[in-house]
Structure 1
Amino acid sequence: MRQNNRMLWLLGVLVVVGLIYVCILQVKIIQYSHVKASKSADYLIVLGARVKGKEPSKVLASRIDAAAKYLKKNTDTLAIASGGKGPGEDISEAKAIKRELVSQGINESRILLEDRSTDTYENIEFSKKFIPSNAELGIVVTNTFHLYRALSIAYYQGLNVEGLSANTPWSAVFKSYSREYLAITKFYLQRYIIGF
């Protein structure tokens, strides 16, 4: 009986600690998702997300819309469409981003394709090769739930960037945030414990 009480107490402590940890992550996500991007950045990186066949998912479509809006107002900003081709995708995420940006009136000469990356770390790492050598400020475009981790990775890789948040579709909120808590935890483990 005493052992059962001890196990229940330990389980309760773990649950409380877990909830506190998730709350801290949520505060970080909220802090980063409301920051406004500066005008006239030298480049912006649109991070890829799932493509269904050839069509962007709702999550990716919102990133594309946010990027297009910024690019229309800042005509000297270069766009880097970032994302490889994953399972169930007929074209790369980068190609889907470029196609949709062009359909919204962005000249394709302003859009560069990084179509090899498979995750956020690679999105940033591989996109660095397309950044002009004289660039001073960049923008990372992704959804509200993803911006904190994306910017943390970009800072870790030495980029001077700001965030441009795209709305997270309601249908994707639960799944996206749940996965993001795990992805942030993995990033913390890799950076602070493993040292990647």
Structure 2
Amino acid sequence: MKIRYMLSELWIAFGFPIIVLGIIILVYYFSKKRMKKNVFFYKIFRYIKISSCIIFICFIIIEALIINYPKYNRNSDDYIIVLGAGLDNGGVPNLILRERLDIAIKCTKENLAQYIVLSGGQGTDESTSEAQAMSEYLQAKGIEKNKIILEDKSRDTNENLKYSKEKIEEFSNKSISDIKVKIVTTDFHAFRSSILAKKNGYKNFDNYSSTMPWYFVPSTYARESIAVIKSILFDK
């Protein structure tokens, strides 16, 4: 299973992009002379080159922000929110999600928060909600059930934070702006989760992130830059 994951992620990160880039270079090489003779196509190709340069610069800037965003804050907070990441075999936290849950356990043992909010709904291919599967994992590791709050409606990161806010406010009878929250996710995801936390009214929050196997890094960080733009423009 681990080898299959590794090969899949390496293909997404390196194999597929290299093939696409190779095709683009070949098309350019064999058609550039013809394009120069045709004013219309030459102008279009010029705009494509300029646009590609702008997109590349934006990609580099976003990646720098994702990489350099603070990810390991050890301040004491009132609540931990663990963001869902998917289940294996329909009902078991996957590798990335287990890493996040282990960080939540570590934070709890170090008294960095009193309560853990587990955020994640049930997918069409899952036999239970992510929140319930996470709860079972934590309880098996010795976390008391009365310290766990389930949020089992969300389908994405924005909804994770939106519905977790509702659960926390209901549980505490306080506004989210008056509550200190620690968001537990994976390192590549910390920057975007902070953007969405601010959009959802969180004022006093920080991040404590888990890491991931090296073979996940290229593809997840590359995809995350696109997700950041999507969250900025469309998530409310």
TM over 0.5: yes
Aligned length: 191
Equivalent residue letter for 2:45: L
Conserved 8 A contact 1:35-1:163:
yes
- For structure 1, list consecutive stretches of 5 or more residues without a partner in the other structure: none
Give the ranges of 4+ consecutive aligned residues of structure 1 lying more than 4 Å apart after TM superposition: none
Please say if 1:137 is aligned against 2:177: no
- Residue identity over aligned pairs, in percent, reads 34
Q: Within 5 A, what are the aligned runs for 1:26-105?
A: 26-32=63-69, 34-52=70-88, 53-74=90-111, 77-105=114-142
Aligned-partner Cα distance in 2 for 1:121–1:3: 43
Match status 1:186 vs 2:230: yes
User: By how many angstroms is 1:126 displaced?
Assistant: 0.7
Contact kept in structure 2, 1:44 and 1:141, CA below 8 Å? yes
> Aligned partner of 1:155: which letter?
K
- Distance verdict in 2 for CA 1:173–1:87, change over 3 Å: farther
Q: Which moved more, 1:125-134 or 1:55-64?
A: 125-134
Q: Could you tell me which amino acid in structure 2 is paired with residue 38 of structure 1?
A: R
1:37 to partner: Cα distance: 1.8
Rounded to whole Å, the distance in 1 between the matches of 2:77 and 2:146 is 17
* Structure 1 residue 31, shift from structure 2 partner: 2.1
SS of equivalent residue, structure 2 residue 96: helix
Residues 40 and 77, structure 1, Cα contact 8 Å, conserved in 2: no
The 2-side partners of 1:84 and 1:12 are apart by 42
Q: Compute the RMSD of aligned alpha carbons.
A: 1.8
Native 8 Å contact 2:100 2:184 kept in 1: yes
Compute the displacement of 1:181 (Å).
Answer: 2.0
Q: 2:208 aligns with which of 164, 171, 185?
A: 164
Amino acid at match of 1:165: S
Matching residue within 48, 55, 59 for 1:22: 59
Structure 2 stretches of 5 or more lacking a match? 1-36
2-side partners of 1:76 and 1:11: how far apart? Answer: 50
* Structure 2: distance between partners of 1:31 and 1:9: 33
Q: Distance in 1 between matches of 2:213 and 2:127?
A: 23
Q: Which moved more, 1:97-106 or 1:110-119?
A: 97-106
- How far 1:3 moved relative to its partner? 3.1
Please tell me whether residue 147 in structure 1 is matched to residue 190 in structure 2. yes
Q: When you count helix as a share of all residues, which structure comes out higher? A: 2
Task: Say which is worse superposed, 4-13 or 79-88, in terms of deviation.
Answer: 4-13
Which residue of structure 1 lines up, in the alignment, with residue 14 of structure 2?
A: none
Bigger Cα Rg: 2
Once residues 135 and 160 of structure 2 are traced to their aligned partners in structure 1, the CA distance between those partners, rounded to angstroms, is 15
CA distance, structure 1, for counterparts of residue 196 and residue 216 of structure 2: 23
Does the CA-based 8 Å contact 2:122-2:130 persist in structure 1? yes
